[in-house]
Structure 1
Amino acid sequence: MTRRILGDQPTSGADALDPLLTVVELAKILGTSERHVRRLVAERRLPFIKVGHFIRFSRRDISEWLTSVTIIGWDKKYGC
């Protein structure tokens, strides 16, 4: 295993770190408010990373989370 200094270019896609999303960026992606994103974090319903006192989100974690909460075959009586 080779050591890399943070900031070096990765040798393969698997070694690359995902750019982390902010609350504002994630809210825009999800089409929701920043307040709603913060509520999901407070309720531990959304995967997040703490960087000091900042909250950040991995694109890969969010993608997996979206897959896990996607509802398929929702009954029409519920309006979908």
Structure 2
Amino acid sequence: AVLTGWHGSSDYGAALGEFAERYGDAVGPRTTVFVLGDARTNMADPNLAALRRIAGQARRVYWLNPEPRIQWGTGDSA
């Protein structure tokens, strides 16, 4: 899925939505999904509905975030 827009900033909401739309049917109870990234939305919609859909269909979802845990949930971090 496309992670950056024309402005060069990451947009996880758009990427998650595109993934759910294009590949959602391939995610099932035997699927493990890995998301790699800092979860910074750059003030865009994080599209929690798409993440919930993916997580609801998958066996497991892991988000690997390279930022220190103390920075999670700060600023534009979803």
Give yes or no for TM over 0.5. Answer: no
**Rg bigger for which structure?**
1
The TM-score normalised by the length of structure 2 is: 0.22
The TM-score normalised by the length of structure 1 is: 0.22
| Structure ranking higher on relative contact order (CA contacts 8 Å, 6+ apart) | 2
